Structure 1
């Protein structure tokens, strides 16, 4: 095992001292205890559990000697620690953070002071494409402009040629939120692309995209395996984000619907469908519970990938009344997943498999895929297409 220099200071990795096989065993027990009447399968782990985070945030600050650092807040604290040697963050991202500190000191770019609300350089947000190695760098400032911005960006992109886009984000709010509302593109197109299951996905500063792309591909492959899609199936992907699972499912079914409350995520989903020339999909920015009640066609399969809070009872109730033959529940919080699964079990569904996937080595977190099926699928699926105007407007 590698030694973490932030041991007992950071608090982000609860299992940093635990051998990896023991971590997987502990996570399996955690999931199994939540589903005592069913069998949780072995956790699917990583071959190399280090440096898996391809989404990296850091806050800039000065130490007591006036030296600049890029780091994270300690757990339950306002104190920050340098994170450029973090064992779970992407190595190149760590190197970029270190170089940003060196350049900022050389170019005398002032660090933002959280307490006084003064200064410039505030945060960095880095996304790395697993498929290409390309990098999106978002520089967050607390001032009106970034001094020496052209030279700063030029120096970074020359040292790290995989940086394909640099975005300047303005955050003047006295808040813990990293990103502000306004952005300017300083270099490149403002986004990079990554690939999952042969489909390219656009990643911008605000795109929701999993932090561990290698395990995400495993997770989604298992979800689709459990969905057991047929060419005649209609699929509803609830909480679809940027359309990742929706578009993967669309390659295997007749039609796929994706619903997501975040309008920006839906815009990204539509763009991803266009870029991949996938036309048997329809995306809607809406609450999943509201959307499912308005569907003209009853889905054969429902796939859910909700936030940690889980699915609403309104959605689950309507889903049960539609009686899809299969429901696949992907979760980053097995506790709310177990709660929702218990509700579905009372409504006539049965659990066939529970598969945990380790997307977050060295932490207590684990993703799980649970497949539920209905023994008597007693409805007739009536073909329905969205209005031509809506469909064509999305895919022009």
Structure 2
């Protein structure tokens, strides 16, 4: 199906689903992925067979089946480099008569192949996951991979042993065959350390479109005319097509006239009733060092600048993107490993006004002393815990941005929010997964006073 038709279909589908909770709010269209194909930066492949006791395969599970694995060396959702690695790995395993792992009886050897590729540098991380039920030296496999004619480079190649019964990638023992276990990826001018197992948006360039949409909603930087695109009524293939194009976070900081102007105006319009003082100098200009622009640093005296909550913050990407317009960002995330990564990435980017907290949102909201001026919600597929949502409502902020990977969950949460005076002000869709039915919903909500 042509990509424009995919976007139109997704747009129509979500509009119909959410119609009763939108109240005629302004729809800023669907923002397409810059890449229609080869956009996935990470893929997990399974070893198995297409027919019972058939030849070894390495690929993806057939839809609606548990055991059937189809070869995926021609999958166009991943880069050609990854397809070459899959083919070379399968050939090596066949040549060495290595048996697949049988998850029915939990016996065998070959389990998974995990590949991650940076879309900005082309660096690759490759993990071959087996059980420990037999021993094999995979050095020759690593050498074969390194001789492949690919456009990228290998950051690291590993053999991992996993004896857990779950049909998912885990690591009990790790053998380094080459290199290091991470690379750096860039999003809107910020640098992020990425490992094979860290959470990072699967579509890097699509993530830039998503985060830029969130950033514009938070700061009120909506393109002239009120739409993110003027190409078509509901469809944008490339995202924001106005003079103010997607910018890096450093450039974004410089584009903001003053933190006082943005946040004071938003609080007045939204009736937040906050006495928050905002220093006009709270965002200092970037300094030139060795010909490069350093990330803007906040005035140490700007202690009353806006407080932003980034709830379900993952590795803290959104909070760090918005740090230039916040006095302080509090990110809350359930997974401790993600919080650790968020802290490392904030330090990597010299961001000092973000605090990341590991734990359940409902529990941790009780522990943060500073109440928010603005809230970002990016919950898992099931949406926000109703008790946590009640606590969020009680803060009385004027606006929130909700990012949903499952529109029906947002609809459920919005029904509760509407009972407490919340309405959708603007919204858009971001297509992070071309050639699939999935789409992200980004909603700017305002509270009636």
Residue 199 of structure 2: aligned partner: 208
1:237 is displaced (CA, Å) by 0.6
d(CA) in 1 for partners of 2:134, 2:340: 28
Say yes or no: does 1:60 pair with 2:51: no
Say yes or no: does 1:29 pair with 2:18: no
Structure 1 residues 218-262: Cα deviation after superposition (integer angstroms, max 9, x where no partner): 001101111118462211111111111111111332111111000
Which structure has more relative contact order (CA 8 Å, sep 6+)? It is: 2
d(CA) in 1 for partners of 2:39, 2:442: 20
**Rg bigger for which structure?**
2
d(CA) in 1 for partners of 2:204, 2:108: 35
CA contact under 8 A between 1:118 and 1:143: conserved in structure 2? no
Matched ranges for 1:31-110 at <5 A = 31-36=14-19, 37-39=23-25, 40-62=27-49, 67-77=55-65, 78-110=67-99
d(CA) in 1 for partners of 2:321, 2:35: 26
d(CA) in 2 for partners of 1:96, 1:282: 39
Structure 1 residues 331-387: Cα deviation after superposition (integer angstroms, max 9, x where no partner): 1101101211221222122211111011111211110100112355xxxxxxxxxxx
d(CA) in 1 for partners of 2:85, 2:95: 15
CA contact under 8 A between 1:69 and 1:98: conserved in structure 2? no
d(CA) in 1 for partners of 2:80, 2:441: 27
d(CA) in 1 for partners of 2:176, 2:417: 46
1:154 is displaced (CA, Å) by 2.0
Say yes or no: does 1:130 pair with 2:119: yes
d(CA) in 2 for partners of 1:53, 1:199: 20
Matched ranges for 1:305-344 at <5 A = 305-344=378-417
Residue 266 of structure 1: aligned partner: 339
Using a 3 Å threshold, how does the CA distance of structure 1 residues 235 and 167 change in structure 2: closer, same or farther? farther
CA RMSD, Structure 1 to Structure 2 (Å): 2.0
CA contact under 8 A between 2:50 and 2:70: conserved in structure 1? no
CA contact under 8 A between 1:239 and 1:260: conserved in structure 2? yes
**Secondary structure at the counterpart of residue 87 of structure 1:** coil
Say yes or no: does 1:190 pair with 2:178: no
d(CA) in 1 for partners of 2:411, 2:18: 7
- Structure 1: gaps spanning 5 or more residues: 1-17, 377-396
| Counterpart pick for 2:353 among 280, 284, 289 | 280
- Structure 2: gaps spanning 5 or more residues: 221-258, 260-281, 283-304
d(CA) in 1 for partners of 2:135, 2:427: 49
d(CA) in 1 for partners of 2:197, 2:371: 32
Say yes or no: does 1:178 pair with 2:169: yes
Matched ranges for 1:210-225 at <5 A = 210-225=201-216
**Secondary structure at the counterpart of residue 223 of structure 1:** helix
d(CA) in 2 for partners of 1:147, 1:312: 47
| Counterpart pick for 2:326 among 239, 243, 253 | 253
CA contact under 8 A between 1:53 and 1:89: conserved in structure 2? yes
1:147 is displaced (CA, Å) by 1.5
1:19 is displaced (CA, Å) by 2.5
Structure 1 residues 3-59: Cα deviation after superposition (integer angstroms, max 9, x where no partner): xxxxxxxxxxxxxxx322221111111221232133433211134411211111111
Structure 1 residues 262-283: Cα deviation after superposition (integer angstroms, max 9, x where no partner): 0111111111111112111101
Residue 372 of structure 1: aligned partner: 445
CA contact under 8 A between 1:238 and 1:306: conserved in structure 2? yes
**Secondary structure at the counterpart of residue 315 of structure 2:** coil
CA contact under 8 A between 2:127 and 2:159: conserved in structure 1? yes
Using a 3 Å threshold, how does the CA distance of structure 1 residues 141 and 333 change in structure 2: closer, same or farther? same
**Structure 1 length normalisation: TM-score?**
0.85
Say yes or no: does 1:297 pair with 2:370: yes
d(CA) in 2 for partners of 1:110, 1:87: 27
Equivalent pairs counted in the alignment come to 359
Residue 131 of structure 2: aligned partner: 142
1:127 is displaced (CA, Å) by 1.1
Worse overlay, 213-222 or 41-50: 41-50
